[in-house]
């Protein structure tokens, strides 16, 4: 499975009685109602909403400090959460340890017993009190959760959780409940300034300023090839391309060349108006119809 497809396969992890969104999901590439927004975005485009993690109180301690140190070293933190000893925990720990040996140059393992009072900070941050155990979270240096694996997983699945700079940037912003402009351009693409014009206008609007994030992607960067393929963007595109994303990972617009604010506002309004004709929505997945 291609690296980006691995992110799509991750899906979601049920935690804390709700759903922890840890990937763009298939919505990013336009299947199954992918042009729709989450109810949180429909209802609130004020301060960033729909965050699945909670800001920990006080300075980091225990596992939280280990995650911070991994980020400081520009490495991923793979956190193995467990509660009870048993065959399932032992089997998953064996896979986890083997994967961490292979990824020692770019990841640091963190092992957390969820009922340890000393690890309350990280358990509360990721809302794991009622999560299925054992569970592994792959956390990028920027804090984005790049993969969540409950109960069982393979080495390949864990090693497939590493992402590129652009994917990490998009994931973090979306998980923080923000709208994302993925700006695909470089020195060889035309209309770069014209493509950014609408993005800057949108950001300057007080309604969206605090909930908008810009991520740039160089189409010539070979590391981003899988993402470009899934977005159906030619790495040799002659023009700048702007992809407009909204939580939990809906691609609400993909524009080539010049843009303006009205284009993005219109796309956002359309995406929040309900399901597209002929598309079935999962329960709670569509915004209220206007």
* Per-residue model confidence as pLDDT tens digits over 68-120: 999 999 999 999 999 999 999 999 999 999 999 999 999 999 999 999 999 99
What distance in Å separates the CA atoms of residue 219 and residue 228, rounded to the nearest whole number?
7
CA angle, 39 then 41 then 45, to 5°: 140
Pairing of strands 212-217, 179-184: parallel
CATH number for domain 165-271, candidates 3.30.450.40, 1.10.132.20, 3.40.30.10, 3.20.20.140: 3.40.30.10
70 neighbors 108 (Cβ within 8 angstroms):
yes
CATH topology of domain 3-35+53-159: Glutaredoxin (3.40.30)
Kindly state the tokens that stand for 120.
């309350």
Q: Where in the chain is the domain with CATH 3.40.30.10?
A: 3-35+53-159, 165-271
Pairing of strands 179-184, 241-246: antiparallel
Per DSSP, helices labelled H in the chain are 3-10, 39-43, 63-72, 87-102, 120-125, 155-159, 165-175, 192-204, 225-230, 261-271
Q: Which residues of the chain have pLDDT under 70?
A: 1-58, 61, 274-290
202 neighbors 244 (Cβ within 8 angstroms):
no
Maximal CA-CA distance, the chain: 59
What distance in Å separates the CA atoms of residue 218 and residue 224, rounded to the nearest whole number?
8
Does 159 sit behind a cis peptide bond, omega within 30 degrees of 0 on the bond before it?
no
Residue 287 carries which DSSP code?
Answer: P
């Amino acid at each position: 499975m291609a690296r980006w497809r691995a992110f799509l396969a991750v899906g979601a992890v049920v935690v804390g009685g709700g759903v922890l969104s840890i990937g763009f999901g298939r919505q990013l590439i336009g299947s199954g109602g992918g042009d729709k927004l989450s109810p949180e975005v429909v209802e609130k485009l004020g301060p960033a909403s729909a965050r699945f993690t909670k800001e920990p109180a006080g300075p980091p301690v225990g596992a939280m400090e280990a995650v911070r140190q991994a980020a400081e070293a520009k490495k991923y933190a793979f956190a193995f959460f467990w509660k009870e000893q048993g065959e399932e925990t032992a089997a998953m720990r064996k896979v986890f340890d083997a994967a961490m040996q292979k990824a020692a140059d770019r990841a640091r393992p963190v092992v957390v017993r969820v009922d340890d009072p000393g690890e309350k900070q990280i358990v509360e941050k990721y809302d794991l009190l009622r999560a299925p155990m054992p569970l592994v979270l792959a956390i990028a240096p920027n804090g984005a959760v790049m993969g969540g694996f409950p109960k069982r997983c393979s080495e390949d699945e864990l090693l497939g959780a590493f992402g590129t700079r652009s994917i990490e940037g998009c994931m973090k912003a979306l998980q923080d409940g923000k709208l994302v402009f993925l700006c695909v351009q470089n020195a060889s693409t035309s209309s770069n300034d014209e493509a950014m014009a609408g993005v800057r206008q949108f950001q300057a609007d007080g309604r969206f300023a605090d909930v908008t994030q810009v991520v740039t992607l160089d189409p010539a960067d070979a590391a981003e090839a899988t993402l470009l393929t899934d977005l159906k963007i030619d790495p040799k595109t002659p023009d700048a391309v702007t992809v407009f994303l909204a939580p939990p990972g809906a691609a609400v617009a993909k524009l080539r060349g010049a843009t303006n604010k009205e284009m993005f506002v219109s796309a956002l309004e359309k995406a929040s108006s309900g399901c597209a004709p002929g598309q079935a929505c999962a329960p709670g997945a569509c915004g209220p119809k206007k």
